[in-house]
Structure 1
Amino acid sequence: MNAAVHIPEYFEDCDLVEGEDLVREPAFWLAHVLLTMGDPGEVERYGVDASAYEAMVDRLADPGQPWPVLRVCFTGGHTAYVVYANFEDENNVDFFVRHPAWGRLGHLGQCGADEAGPGLSWAELISLAASAQDGEEGLSDPSQRLLLLLPMLGDADMPGGARDTVARALAGCGIRPDAAGELAASLLGEQDSTGGPRWTVTGDSPIAVCSSPYSPRRVPLGLGISPEQAQALANALHGSVPPTASGGFTG
């Protein structure tokens, strides 16, 4: 039986359980990126059996079971959470960051009935994927960490190697290698360098804010935390892992 997860600042009347056991199945990764980012089409082309995919979708959206929680622990005791929140009348996937000293959640965004995002720049996504895991909980594999948080990506300033980076992550998580590039291109879409989301640091906080009107990060992430906590979060989001020449991450 999966262990219960307690998030004090999240919904009090829901049962949360560790969902990391789901990631062993390629069907989970295909379901995760397609449910949050794209049209499934014929899933067999990606090397995933249709019945396995449908069973995974049913599990991820089942309001009769505890909500699966997946975690990415990163520098300084911070954790990024992804929760499949399944009410009787709607299904959402919530993305947020938490530190036990904050007393609040830092919302990245949501996929589902009330779409909100983006919640991460490309540099932040790569940093969180490559960051050394701080703690024993959650995902440790960089490809899994990248794909888990990929639905929150939105950035007009993307490197040329972004598609290859995502394709490698998809292949590393069980997607058929000869179809991974096509899927990566579909998930990333066309990056509009003039009208896409921009990330800037203002004088109000060391944490970058997003230009998109639909992003929770139009205000600094974790708004209301102390200046010291904000600086620690800003440092953790960018880390010290340099991108590779192709725009990928090391490790």
Structure 2
Amino acid sequence: MTAAPHLPGFEDDELLAGEDLASEPAFWLAHLLLALGHDVEEPEAYGIARDAYDAMVERLFVTETPTLLLRVPFRHGHTACVVYQNFEDECDTDFLVHHPAWGRFGFLGQFGPHGSGPGLSWPELVNLARSEGDPGAEGLQDHAQRFLLLLPALGDADTPVEEARRTVAEALTAVGFRPDSVGELAAQLLGDPEHQPRWCLTPDSPIPICSSDYSPRQIPLALGITEAQARTLAEALRGH
């Protein structure tokens, strides 16, 4: 792993770029299920060796390890970031959006003892997974990996159930899960859309807000950036 560049809000952390973990199926099992609070009793059911899975959990959630950063660059110079932070008494996984011109980050949510979310609608998740970052931008480029990295931030009552399950299953297969395990796991990861919040636009911002009381996106994402920056971010989230 290599040192990651500066990220506002994490000046005191030693950040390491963690994109090399994306080549290991054990990472995806830990990232997707532990972030959502699900225990993994039989990683072998997904085609992942127990010792590989246990080693990955140790790597992600041990206090002594530096803070890991995984990135999804997308349009107009933006980057979605997932940050694994380990403290003495808890572990947090933060989902953020950053642009070098902001001097701050936009908060998508957190998984940990004081979690919050969701942070992405279904169209936003799909657009970020398929988006192209600036030439030379650091981070994940594979569409399946980008999609799965940000999947825990999803929460949207208008998620198209069959399309979403198919998309998740295909992504899981692409990163190395047993094909006969991905259908059930996809349904588990998506949950029931009927119990998810909705997204809407308001006259105050071009960036959609979320109806959930627990979502940081009850207010516009990256509140405090300029109007021009907000419009550019809104376009990027729409895939434009």
Q: Same fold (TM over 0.5)?
A: yes
Cα displacement (A) at 1:31: 0.8
Report if the CA contact (8 A) 2:117-2:215 is conserved: yes
Cα displacement (A) at 1:74: 0.3
Q: Which residue identity lines up with residue 79 of structure 1 in the other structure?
A: T
**In the TM superposition, what whole-angstrom CA distance separates every residue of 1:111-162 from its partner, at most 9, and x where no partner exists?**
0111100000000000000001323310000000000000000000011311
Give, in whole Å, the separation in 2 of the partners of 1:8 and 1:52: 30
Q: Which position in structure 2 is the counterpart of 1:15?
A: 14
Q: Does 2:77 align with 1:77?
A: yes
Q: Does 2:134 align with 1:141?
A: no
Cα displacement (A) at 1:8: 4.0
Q: Which residue identity lines up with residue 51 of structure 1 in the other structure?
A: D
**In the TM superposition, what whole-angstrom CA distance separates every residue of 1:73-111 from its partner, at most 9, and x where no partner exists?**
000000001010011211010110000111111000000
Structure 2 residue aligned with 1:167, among 159, 169, 176?
Answer: 169
Report if the CA contact (8 A) 2:67-2:86 is conserved: yes
TM-score by length of 1: 0.92
Q: Does 2:56 align with 1:56?
A: yes
Give, in whole Å, the separation in 1 of the partners of 2:184 and 2:123: 22
Q: Which position in structure 2 is the counterpart of 1:232?
A: 232
Tell me the secondary structure at the aligned position of residue 224 of structure 2: coil
Cα displacement (A) at 1:7: 3.0
Q: Which position in structure 2 is the counterpart of 1:97?
A: 97
Give, in whole Å, the separation in 2 of the partners of 1:15 and 1:196: 35
Give, in whole Å, the separation in 1 of the partners of 2:10 and 2:22: 24
Q: Which residue identity lines up with residue 34 of structure 1 in the other structure?
A: L
Give, in whole Å, the separation in 1 of the partners of 2:77 and 2:12: 26
Give, in whole Å, the separation in 2 of the partners of 1:162 and 1:151: 13
Report if the CA contact (8 A) 2:76-2:133 is conserved: no
Report if the CA contact (8 A) 2:118-2:215 is conserved: yes
Cα displacement (A) at 1:217: 0.3
Q: Which residue identity lines up with residue 106 of structure 2 in the other structure?
A: G
Cα displacement (A) at 1:43: 1.2
Q: How many residues align?
A: 237
Give, in whole Å, the separation in 1 of the partners of 2:238 and 2:41: 35
TM-score by length of 2: 0.96
Give, in whole Å, the separation in 1 of the partners of 2:52 and 2:7: 34
Give, in whole Å, the separation in 1 of the partners of 2:11 and 2:97: 17
Give, in whole Å, the separation in 1 of the partners of 2:188 and 2:230: 34
Tell me the secondary structure at the aligned position of residue 69 of structure 1: strand
Which structure 1 segments of 5+ residues have no match? 241-251
Question: In angstroms, what is the RMSD of aligned CA positions?
Answer: 1.1
Q: Which position in structure 1 is the counterpart of 2:4?
A: 5
Equivalent residue runs for 1:198-209 within 5 Å: 198-209=198-209
Cα displacement (A) at 1:40: 1.6
Percent identity over paired residues: 58
Equivalent residue runs for 1:117-132 within 5 Å: 117-132=117-132
Which structure 2 segments of 5+ residues have no match? none
